[in-house]
Structure 1
Amino acid sequence: MLVDGEGNAIGTAPKKSVHGPDTPLHLAFSSYVFDDEGRVLLTRRATHKPTWPGTWTNSCCGHPLPGEPLHHAVTRRLTYELGLTVSSVDLVLPGFSYRAVMDNGTVENEICPVYRVHTDGPATPNPDEVDAVNWVPWTRFAREVVSGEMDISPWCAEQVPLLTALGSDPLSWPSADPAALPSAARAGA
C-alpha cells in the first residue's frame, strides 16, 4: 500500500516494484517476538533476499495486503516466515517510519508501525525468508544495539532506542492506541 507523507493511502503497487533506487513511501510493519522469559527472537534474513540479505534483524517485518489489518499481517507473516503460533500482538510504536539506503542504492522507505508479539512455541524458519534464528535476552540485545556493538538492520537500529524508552521489561511495555496509527494502517484496527 503506497502512502503519502501523512500516512494516507494513495494506491497500491506490487512489492517487487517498490524496492529499488526510487522506492515510494509505503506501509509496512516490524515485530519483536518475545517468550515468557523476556527473550527476543532475532532473525538473519535469507542471503537471497534483495534487501539487506544475510543481515540480523528483529523477529519479522512485512507488508499488509490491501485492506488487511496490520495485526493480522503480523500474525500471517510470523506463521509463514517462522512457523510461530502467536498468543498476543500489541501495537507499541504506531508512528515509526524510516528511510534506509543499501550500498547498491536500493532504498527502503516505509511507514512501519512496531508490534510486540508473545509466543510460547518454537520457531521453525522458512528458508525462503530466514537463514537463522537466535533467542537473546532483551536487555543484552538492546544494550548491544544501542552501544553499536551489534551489526543489525538499519530499521532495527532505529527502533531499539525507542523501544527501550518504553521500559526495561518488554513484557510490561504499554500498548499504544490504534487510533495513533497512520490512517492507511487503521483498516480493521
Structure 2
Amino acid sequence: MVRRIVELVDARGTTLGECSVEEAHQPPGRLHRAFSIMLFDARDRVLLQRRALSKSRFPGLWANTCCSHPAAGEDVAESAAKRLDEEMGLHVGQLREVGTFVYQALDGHGAAEHEFDHVLLGELDSSVPLTPDRTEIEELAWLPYADLVTDAAARPERYAPWVPGVIELIERTRSTS
C-alpha cells in the first residue's frame, strides 16, 4: 500500500509541514490542503459523484465531480487534472480556481475532515463516456446546477460536508461575473 502524504497548512493556506492522509483524517482532523473540482456542461448541469460505499470517509454521499489532496508542494491544478484522469479517465481543458474555504467535519465512522479546500471549475461535454474507478465512485449523475443548490440546502444529509462550501464559492463567482 502506498503511503500518501498531504500538506499541512494554517487557516491562510501557508504550508506548515506534512503528514500521512490517515493521520490527517484522525479526529478532530489536521488542517491540510485539498481540492474540489466541479465540472459543468453546456446546459449548466454539474457532474456529481456518489462516493463509493467502501470509502473511509463519508461513504455513499453525493459530492462534487472529484476531490482529493495534492501531494506536498504539488501544483493544485495539475494534481486535480491528474486525479480526474485517475478516477474517471477524463482529460479536460483548463481548470479554473475560484477560491478556497476551510471546513471541518466528523463522518460518524471514526474519521474526520479538516481541509483548506481549493475549488476548481471546468467544462466537460456531457456526451463524453465516463469510466469511473469503482473503488472511488459508486455512481455518477448530471444534475442541473440550480437543482443541486436547492437539493443540497433542503437535504444536506445526502451530500458530503464540503459541498455547501463549494456551492458558496461558485455562487460568489457567478454573482461577480
How many percent identity over aligned positions?
34
Q: Unpaired runs of 5+ in structure 2?
A: 1-6
The equivalent of 2:112 in structure 1 is 107
Does residue 61 of structure 1 match 2:44? no
The equivalent of 1:118 in structure 2 is 123
The answer to whether the Cα contact below 8 Å between 2:29 and 2:104 also exists between their aligned partners in 1 is: no
Q: 1:131 aligns with which of 138, 154, 158?
A: 138
Deviation at 1:53, TM superposition (A): 0.7
TM-score by length of 1: 0.82
The equivalent of 1:15 in structure 2 is 21
Q: How much is the aligned-residue C-alpha RMSD, in angstroms?
A: 1.9
The answer to whether the Cα contact below 8 Å between 1:142 and 1:164 also exists between their aligned partners in 2 is: no
The answer to whether the Cα contact below 8 Å between 1:3 and 1:25 also exists between their aligned partners in 2 is: yes
Q: Unpaired runs of 5+ in structure 1?
A: 175-189
The equivalent of 2:32 in structure 1 is 26
Query: 1:22, 1:139 → 2: CA distance?
Result: 33
The answer to whether the Cα contact below 8 Å between 1:88 and 1:119 also exists between their aligned partners in 2 is: no
Query: 1:14, 1:43 → 2: CA distance?
Result: 25
Higher strand share: 2
Task: Report SS of the residue matched to 2:103.
Answer: strand
Q: How many residues align?
A: 169
TM-score by length of 2: 0.87
Deviation at 1:47, TM superposition (A): 0.7
